Structure 1
């Protein structure tokens, strides 16, 4: 049905063309059209007699094709044969041929050839490229959207880039890392609770406490290593989706900036500025260590201050009313009351301030390496020439001055800067 519908439209357009041509024949050589004078071109002379047979036979062929819908393929071939014969006849007698009939015959022949190339109902046209449409899977999706969806849905970028073989590696590494992290975390938590229970009563070093602390540190180190491996694999595959993105034309600058946002140092690696990577990674590692150090000090003195403040409050209550409140045994903090609460509070505040400052510096390093990757990607394509010069030359120009009745010279300088 689609083939017949297209054929019917073709026939209708051909008949309209012939009707328009006939109407143009009846126009006078000079007539008014929409208020303007239109001169009929004389480049297509009309000739009567035998040449009009071409148009008549063309109409007969087209009517036959349109009338019979049971065997359109055979009639199309018949119409083409007749049109080719008429075109050959026109070439043999080029002086008497009607150019308008020749134009119509050539147009119909081309249209019939295109009609034969169309697929039949139920067949798929191999020349048509199927484009993906939708919010989650579209051929016009931007790089930033692919990266954001890859962040929420791990493996989405590989599916979008049709690199399905990477999915088992992604889910295998991330899943194994998370599984081992959970296993080591379950081992670490009971040891930490036991260690805190012992150190709350007494911080005297014993072989049992040393063995417990060593085991706790070992499981904590493994736990952190597995967590780092999982996060690194996760970020790597988001960056891989950005690097292999080929849907739209994306500049190297945008890719470098996107990779720097995903993982610190990735933009420098993409720009092949490898010497900058140790500074970026080293700066981040140092800041992370400082944050962890100050946070542990903050948590330590925060606990000591809370215990010493509780002891001072209980002692104050006892002094105010000994009969109502019992006498406290002593401060249960790790320093056993050797330091005042105000001193412990100052230490707690110092560690917290240093920790927050390190977090701000880390954020600054993160933004700085993004800016560096962006600028460096721009400079990779920047033409740096040895010709850095400036020249000043005199210039004389002429301009027309109506009051002076002619041209007058204008003197000045040309400044050329090459950079």
Structure 2
């Protein structure tokens, strides 16, 4: 109940700061001052980047001319593939040893001839752990692959927008003249 009151109080305070001191309506007509030629704006650019990145990881980033991201992508995907292979190899070793121990045959974890000894329960736990880690690593690798496709598409989309210093968002503290208190506001500034 206490938290609900806090949320209501914060909401009321936020809406109370949006006051209007204007007595008359002000009509502002804006004109678009930027003109982009059709050559600069390619509607299919995000789709092309996503397609290229889906065909070959990193190719969409190269299409966007963000070459520094390519080693990061291959490092992340290579790491996922490495951990999949590592856990799959260990899982197969534990599984083979468990099957051989059930048949009463010697295996690499039987404790004979200088080998380490693992009981059947330990081999079962090892199989479960390595299988879980293997499945998790393939899931993470697939998620990273999808993420790099989405990143290429999003980056291509954002490259089409004009980002410049004439548009700023800055928080400010101003003095409210009606009650002589400081108020935190955010201002959106356009410079022409």
Place the TM-score, normalised by the shorter chain, in its bin.
0.5 to 0.7
Asked if 1:259 is matched to 2:52, the reply is: yes
Q: Which has the larger radius of gyration?
A: 1
Match of 1:335 among 109, 113, 122: 109
Match of 1:272 among 62, 65, 70: 65
CA distance in 2, matches of 1:347, 1:267: 40
CA RMSD for the aligned pairs?
2.1
**TM-score normalised by structure 1 residue count:** 0.29
CA distance in 2, matches of 1:250, 1:308: 63
Contact 2:166 2:189 in 1 (8 A): no
CA distance in 2, matches of 1:293, 1:370: 26
Asked if 1:360 is matched to 2:139, the reply is: yes
Q: Map of 1:311-390 to 2, 5 A cutoff?
A: 311=104, 331-336=105-110, 338-389=117-168
Counterpart of 2:96 in structure 1 is 303
Q: Map of 1:184-223 to 2, 5 A cutoff?
A: none
The CA deviation at 1:309 is 2.3
CA distance in 2, matches of 1:334, 1:416: 69
The CA deviation at 1:251 is 1.5
The CA deviation at 1:335 is 2.2
CA distance in 2, matches of 1:255, 1:374: 8
Aligned residue for 1:258, secondary structure, equals helix
Which structure exhibits the higher relative contact order, with contacts defined as CA atoms closer than 8 Å and separated by 6 or more residues?
A: 2
Unaligned runs of 5+ in 2: 1-41, 112-116, 170-186
Aligned residue for 2:75, secondary structure, equals helix
The CA deviation at 1:336 is 2.7
Contact 2:46 2:153 in 1 (8 A): yes
Q: Map of 1:7-406 to 2, 5 A cutoff?
A: 251-311=44-104, 331-336=105-110, 338-389=117-168
Deviations 1:373-416 (CA, angstroms, capped at 9, x unpaired): 011101211100111247xxxxxxxxxxxxxxxxxxxxxxxx97
Aligned residue for 2:103, secondary structure, equals helix
Poorly superposed stretches of 4+, deviation over 3 Å:
415-419
Q: Structure 1 306/362 Cα, relative in aligned 2: closer, same or farther at 3 Å?
A: same
**TM-score normalised by structure 2 residue count:** 0.61
The CA deviation at 1:282 is 0.7
CA distance in 2, matches of 1:418, 1:370: 34
